[in-house]
Amino acid sequence: MTALLGQLFFTFFFIGLFNFGGGGAMLSLIQGQVVTAHQWITQAEFTDIVAISQSTPGPIGINCATYVGYEVMANAGFGQWAGVLGSTLATLAIVLPSFIVFFLIIKVFNKFHESRTFADTMRALRPAVAGLIGAAALVLIFRTGWTSGRLQVRLLTENFPDWKAWAIFAAAFGLGFTKKAGPIAIILGAGVLGLLIY
């Protein structure tokens, strides 16, 4: 159990350390580690965790870490209290790098905030953040892998089982893009629509 807790801590510490752009951008890193690299949870479980993390209060990346920490320990058969410990460690690990980096930035910000290099670096990070958020969306729609040296791309049918799910997705995307609807209204609307349709 201790070895798994250590792995869980260092995995989420690594994710927190190399994440730029907030929780949405963090999702593809989390998926890459917990589903692909370590295979602690399945893609379907990860999709459910993302949905719950978006629907509950708080930052999505931290919520996701909390749920994943619990699921990893529970799936390993260590019981409920080990799941709570896994949640606590994963949550602490994912926020700890931000606290460390933020503390260091406070120490040097006044010295460098007017630097052209600093401004250029921040400007260069913006497209990377957009790319990471886009990658997180694609992770929830497609599964990719290599078979016999060829890239295989498959639609995740468990996330979009029929045309109704695609219609809800299109409506949510359209409202967010054209009407500038808030995320809370979109999530609630999609939830109500899903309950009515399914």
Q: Whole-angstrom Cα distance, residue 63 to residue 67?
A: 6
Question: How far is 174 from 177, CA to CA, in rounded Å?
Answer: 5
* Domain boundaries of the chain, sorted by first residue: 2-155, 163-197
The mean per-residue pLDDT over the stretch 110-120 comes to: 78
pLDDT at 3 exceeding the cut of 70: yes
- Assess contact for 60 and 23: CB atoms under 8 A: yes
- Chain segment 180-192, per-residue pLDDT in tens: 778 888 888 888 8
Residue 29's alpha-carbon distances to 19, 36, 64, in angstroms, are: 8, 10, 11
Q: Is the sign of the CA dihedral 9, 87, 30, 102 positive or negative?
A: negative
Average per-residue pLDDT for the chain: 85
| Terminal CA-CA length for the chain | 40
Residues of the chain with pLDDT > 70, as a percent, come to: 99
Query: Residue 150 has what pLDDT?
Result: 84
Helix-, strand-, coil-residue percentages of the chain, each rounded to 5: 75, 5, 20
Q: How far apart are CA 96 and CA 42, in angstroms?
A: 26
pLDDT of residue 107: 78
3-state secondary structure of 149: coil
Per-residue pLDDT tens over the stretch 42-83 = 888 888 888 888 888 888 889 999 999 999 998 888 888 999
Average pLDDT of span 131-153: 80
Rounded-to-integer distance, Cα 120 and Cα 181, Å:
31
Q: Tell me what the mean pLDDT of segment 31-40 comes to.
A: 90
CA torsion 10-126-22-3 (nearest 10°) is -10
pLDDT recorded at residue 21: 66
Give the integer Cα–Cα distance in Å for 21 and 32.
Answer: 17
Q: Does pLDDT of 89 surpass 90? A: yes
DSSP state of 115: -
Q: Is the pLDDT of residue 87 over 80?
A: yes
Residue type, 46: F
